[in-house]
Structure 1
Amino acid sequence: MNSTSRSAIARCLSACLFVGSLAAGPLHAAEAPHPKLVVTIAVDQFSSDVFTEYRPLYQGGLKRLAGGVVFPRGHQSHASTETCPGHSTILTGARPGRTGIIANDWQDPSLPRTEKGKETFSLYCVEKPGPVGSSADEKVISPDSLLVPTLGDRMKARDPATQVVSISGKDRSAVMLGGHNANLTLWWTQAGFTTYAGKESTIPKEIADKINTDVRKSYGQPTVTKLPAACASRSRSVKVTDDISIGTLQNLPANSKRWRATPAMDSFTVDAALAAVKSFNLGKNSTDLLAVSFSGTDYAGHYYGTEGAEMCTQQLALDQSIGRLLAGLDKTGIPYVVAMTADHGGIDTTERNKQRGVTDAARIESSLLPVNVNAALEKELTGLPKPIVLGTKEFGNDVYLNAAIPADRREGVLRATYLYYRNHPQIAAVFTKQELIEAEQPSGPVDEWTLLQRAKASFNPQRSGDLIVLLKPYISLYPAPKNVDSDYTASHGSAWGYDRRVPIVFWWKGVTGFEQPVAVETVDLAPTLAKIIGLDVPAGEFDGRALPIVLP
């Protein structure tokens, strides 16, 4: 063998060893993230079902995140799967029974007041209520109802220099993620992004001036959204009522509330988030936190259902919006870690579900709406203060008796109310407050919890109703819509899997990704992030646990 041949063999062996070392790379210990910025992304009404269905179509930010550590069967484990309770779990590590955020709205029997000239007992989850009897027409937004600290609150307690920024299309989403002491809590209104009364000076100038001007202009113009080619096969008209059809991505007139279900809302949310990162110099000094909640998917789901051209278009646009957010963070050069999840899932519109084989799909019967429950009870139970049952015009899981009902009649009224709901063909279960007080805290695999355990996770003895009422599967919480611009066609809020299952994803630069299909909870997200940044939290203050997201 000549020298040339020996040299060639040597080069080949060297190259082969090099290639082999690359192939063996993933077997080495992965490096844990060392972030200067913790980024939490919540996608409103982003069920595991939607994530799984559209995952092959993602090409931008969601594709990048899906290459990280993926728990496709995360759970909002509680029964009342609404926006405010769901967001309250994400950065507190606590279930709604502990956060106190049992619903978007709940009733306070001790607080009658007037709203639009009528007596009401309803409280909004991020409302700072005034004195008893005061008007509820103008609500003051506040984090006061949240009973536990968020991760951002804990980070600021450890290091007061930590900055926390929370931005969303909804006030309740931004407040629940931002916590009690955020440097900036920002949410969308028709006039642009705003914040707590008296804290308007915290809004960066770029947002207050340019971005808000663009928001108003966009909202005030007709919206024309082009159907992506990948969504063409999903474009089929579905008749919801004689006057309302969905499924074909119709154009919208100016000043339409359905603007919120177009890609514009999430796109402007990214604009505001990146402007805030720049204005507050997030991650430049202390370890900071940025929370971004995207609301467009929720509005698309409510107005059009979880299938169809509208949701497909929304998902591809969300993918690009999250990609633009991540690209903007990349440009800062700041090491960051991302945790993404959702506040709840959702159910497709009843009419399309029935077309596609869900024979039990139905809209809620009017006899379950509070006004009709009261009418029925008042016929049976005479001589009582009205209303017997408190409530808004919509069905809610929590049922409250009027505090003015005499003590010697309350037990009989409670039993009659219990039987009214329990005997209804659309009701799966009814639990009394006493049953839930006595029930043990849920444990074991979250996807196998009983209805009682799911209700217990939502239950707070100071705020929950006298009865907890759970609908059967595939019952939409909304009757058929009447107003094409403002009424919803599809819902969430049930105790069933399509509303509870949400993806949980972690990503950082250099992550060795893997997928774990075991069911976990959104309350695991905060303790996992706390572990990553070395934040010690006393035992027992989280309902969740730190997930092992770094391969050995």
Structure 2
Amino acid sequence: MAQEAVPAVSQKLPANAPRLVVAIAIDQFSSDLFAQYRQRFTGGLARLTTGAVFPAGYQSHAATETCPGHSTILTGNRPAHTGIIANSWIDQSVTVGPKVVYCAEDVSKRKAGSKDYVASVDHLLVPTLGEWLKQANPAARNIAVSGKDRGALMMGGHEIDQVYWWKGKGFATLEERDLGATAIAQNGEIAATLAKGAPAFALPAWCARNDRAVTAGEATVGTGRFALKAGNADGFRASPRLDRATLDLAIKLLDEEKLGKDAVPDVLSVSLSATDYVGHSTGTEGAEMCIQLTQLDMALGDFFASLDKRGIDYAVVLTADHGGFDLPERLHEQALETSSRVGADVSPEALSAALGKAYAVAAKGLVLSDGASGDYWLRKDIAPGLKGKMVDDAKAILMANAQVEAVLSAAEIAATPMPGGSPETWTLAERARASYNPLHSGDFVVFLKRGVVPIPVPRAGYVATHGSPWDYDRRVPILFWRKGMTGFEQPSGVETVDIAPSLAALVGLKVPEGSFDGRCLDLDGGPGNTCGAAK
């Protein structure tokens, strides 16, 4: 399904609007991490805490993954309306390759036998802030850069002037575009680093308590320093070096495009992915995360200093696409015995075997899923009348499992009204409703209990994750900053879908009523920030 058309809203934006909007997403930067490290920040993150601070922001939906989370930030819409219900979903109509569809791929360009994909933003159904600004004035520039393609594409949208993301050993762009000179130069610097390697990062003294080895399966984590062996591109990616390179490229693109230099506001979206890679590979509470957040704070400080030197009137918003959860093995050392890894009996294979036996049908592929929780599908050859009974039986089987909190059918979720009010009070059904889109969602959704990690067997590079409907994955900080604004802190829950309408108000952009799921936040001090301007 194609993106909704952006209505014509051509307009002259107010003279006191910032000339550049910088939207930063830190992948897997939970409110818990923000609170834990807040007093240690001295760089860019410290600066942002002097602005408008919303420590209890929410990726309010249940599907707390990278793609849906990024899709909310600059569209102002929940996954139910962006169409991005997960990082990937099952589409049984696909004829080439696996039935799993990645959120940022063009399925029509798949090639038989290829493990690669063509990156695309086609699945995103609504416009981004950058697209609204370009519609209001075609001179506006919309630039995005990220450590992941889905981060850049979901924040930039369809009408994007330049877009880059990390792939392999450097930054890549859309298939139909040539790599620009600026990105080529950045890749050259990365290649030089990869060729010679790089020394370990120093561990801040206050991180010493985090510096202890923890064993998870065949992996041992907790004491890493990110020393880079020559040629190890994966080691570069899962380290603070990726964020530094992403921010360096962002500054170079800003200069190349002359962002913020004319009377028309531009948008620069920067998605920083290393915190997520570190979180997945080593967890959230080891020496590795201490180093990562220290280095990220420093890199952001240098980034903002570079903007200051260029004399640009810019406004910043920083948030995250989702939170995260530490590995159970370390949590057990802290006496959190309720944390565990999901058992094999929750898998689609186990459920297929049970339902196949009960209904005397072929068990292979009877239940499909892209993980041990979230959306599940029944095989498409199951008759509609029988499908409802199978879903009911699947629910009964799963609810008998001590690791399962809830199972909701698509019919139950669709019948739930779209939630409103404070997101921390939403029921599981309401959280699921905010993620549900009939184009892509499954026949039923499985929610594991708090603390159950949907990684059955940890391995090197993948010991911890996110994706649950619980607040450790939903709560993220939302920070706004502009030079001269009055700082304040609002502890009440707000949503990431409130960011786009707030930024639209900040730049005086009028969009049609009903374009956003979110609401405008009063930022108390930004020149021209009247929430009525975005309506």
TM-score by length of 1: 0.89
- 1:293 partnered with 2:276: no
The question of whether the paired residues in 1 share the 8 Å contact of 2:147 and 2:271 is answered with yes
- 1:523 partnered with 2:497: yes
Structure 2, unaligned runs of 5 or more = 1-14, 527-535
The question of whether the paired residues in 2 share the 8 Å contact of 1:44 and 1:293 is answered with yes
1:6 match: none
The question of whether the paired residues in 2 share the 8 Å contact of 1:385 and 1:405 is answered with no
1:154 match: 132
1:513 match: 487
Report matched runs for 1:169-248 at 5 Å: 169-201=147-179, 203=180, 205-209=181-185, 211-219=186-194, 221-223=196-198, 224-241=200-217, 243-248=218-223
The question of whether the paired residues in 1 share the 8 Å contact of 2:109 and 2:118 is answered with no
- 1:542 partnered with 2:516: yes
Say if 1:131 and 1:247 are closer, same or farther in 2 by CA, change over 3 A.
Answer: closer
- 1:272 partnered with 2:255: no
Task: Tell me the CA shift for residue 408 of structure 1.
Answer: 4.4
The question of whether the paired residues in 1 share the 8 Å contact of 2:19 and 2:312 is answered with yes
Q: Distance in 1 between matches of 2:22 and 2:93?
A: 40
Task: Tell me the CA shift for residue 422 of structure 1.
Answer: 2.1
- Listed one character per residue, the Cα deviations across residues 164-183 of structure 1 (whole Å, up to 9, x for unaligned) are 10000000000000100110
What amino acid is aligned across from residue 230 of structure 1 in structure 2?
Answer: W
Task: Tell me the CA shift for residue 344 of structure 1.
Answer: 0.4
Task: Tell me the CA shift for residue 258 of structure 1.
Answer: 3.9
- Listed one character per residue, the Cα deviations across residues 118-166 of structure 1 (whole Å, up to 9, x for unaligned) are xx21100011111799556331111110000000111111111110100
Say if 1:240 and 1:199 are closer, same or farther in 2 by CA, change over 3 A.
Answer: same
- 1:399 partnered with 2:376: yes
Say if 1:143 and 1:132 are closer, same or farther in 2 by CA, change over 3 A.
Answer: closer
The question of whether the paired residues in 2 share the 8 Å contact of 1:166 and 1:292 is answered with yes
Q: Distance in 1 between matches of 2:334 and 2:295?
A: 26
- Listed one character per residue, the Cα deviations across residues 234-258 of structure 1 (whole Å, up to 9, x for unaligned) are 21111223x4221112545442624
2:105 to 98, 102, 127: 127
1:436 match: 413
Say if 1:190 and 1:134 are closer, same or farther in 2 by CA, change over 3 A.
Answer: closer
Please give the secondary structure, in 1, of the residue aligned with 2:165: strand
1:426 match: 403
2:464 match: 490
- 1:472 partnered with 2:429: no
What amino acid is aligned across from residue 420 of structure 1 in structure 2?
Answer: I
The question of whether the paired residues in 2 share the 8 Å contact of 1:55 and 1:63 is answered with yes
The question of whether the paired residues in 2 share the 8 Å contact of 1:33 and 1:337 is answered with no
Say if 1:282 and 1:133 are closer, same or farther in 2 by CA, change over 3 A.
Answer: closer
Say if 1:409 and 1:384 are closer, same or farther in 2 by CA, change over 3 A.
Answer: farther
Say if 1:221 and 1:449 are closer, same or farther in 2 by CA, change over 3 A.
Answer: farther
Please give the secondary structure, in 1, of the residue aligned with 2:107: coil
The question of whether the paired residues in 1 share the 8 Å contact of 2:404 and 2:448 is answered with yes
Say if 1:44 and 1:131 are closer, same or farther in 2 by CA, change over 3 A.
Answer: closer
Report how many residues are paired. Answer: 508
1:283 to 251, 260, 267: 260
Task: Tell me the CA shift for residue 233 of structure 1.
Answer: 2.7
Please give the secondary structure, in 1, of the residue aligned with 2:108: coil
The question of whether the paired residues in 2 share the 8 Å contact of 1:121 and 1:390 is answered with no
Task: Tell me the CA shift for residue 523 of structure 1.
Answer: 0.3
What amino acid is aligned across from residue 221 of structure 2 in structure 1?
Answer: I
- 1:79 partnered with 2:62: yes
1:10 match: none
Which stretch of the first structure deviates more once superposed, 404-413 or 338-347?
Answer: 404-413
Task: Tell me the CA shift for residue 551 of structure 1.
Answer: 4.8
Q: Distance in 1 between matches of 2:239 and 2:18?
A: 33
Q: How much identity, in percent, do the aligned residues show? A: 44
Task: Tell me the CA shift for residue 228 of structure 1.
Answer: 2.4
Please give the secondary structure, in 2, of the residue aligned with 1:130: helix
Q: Distance in 1 between matches of 2:454 and 2:69?
A: 17
The question of whether the paired residues in 1 share the 8 Å contact of 2:110 and 2:118 is answered with no
- Listed one character per residue, the Cα deviations across residues 500-530 of structure 1 (whole Å, up to 9, x for unaligned) are 0000000011121011100000000000000
Q: Distance in 1 between matches of 2:477 and 2:447?
A: 24
Q: Distance in 1 between matches of 2:447 and 2:195?
A: 40
Q: Distance in 2 between matches of 1:76 and 1:515?
A: 19
The question of whether the paired residues in 2 share the 8 Å contact of 1:90 and 1:525 is answered with yes
Q: Distance in 2 between matches of 1:514 and 1:412?
A: 53
Task: Tell me the CA shift for residue 413 of structure 1.
Answer: 2.2
Structure 1, unaligned runs of 5 or more = 1-31, 115-119
2:78 match: 95
1:462 match: 439
2:280 match: 302
TM-score by length of 2: 0.91
Task: Tell me the CA shift for residue 385 of structure 1.
Answer: 7.0
Q: Distance in 1 between matches of 2:411 and 2:111?
A: 29
Say if 1:131 and 1:263 are closer, same or farther in 2 by CA, change over 3 A.
Answer: closer
The question of whether the paired residues in 1 share the 8 Å contact of 2:21 and 2:268 is answered with yes
What amino acid is aligned across from residue 284 of structure 1 in structure 2?
Answer: K
Say if 1:132 and 1:240 are closer, same or farther in 2 by CA, change over 3 A.
Answer: closer
Say if 1:465 and 1:338 are closer, same or farther in 2 by CA, change over 3 A.
Answer: same
1:140 match: 118
Please give the secondary structure, in 2, of the residue aligned with 1:289: strand
Report matched runs for 1:318-333 at 5 Å: 318-333=296-311
Which stretch of the first structure deviates more once superposed, 349-358 or 290-299?
Answer: 349-358
1:260 match: 237
Q: What is the aligned-residue RMSD (CA, Å)? A: 1.9
Q: Distance in 2 between matches of 1:166 and 1:298?
A: 18
Say if 1:480 and 1:219 are closer, same or farther in 2 by CA, change over 3 A.
Answer: farther
Q: Radius of gyration: which is bigger? A: 1
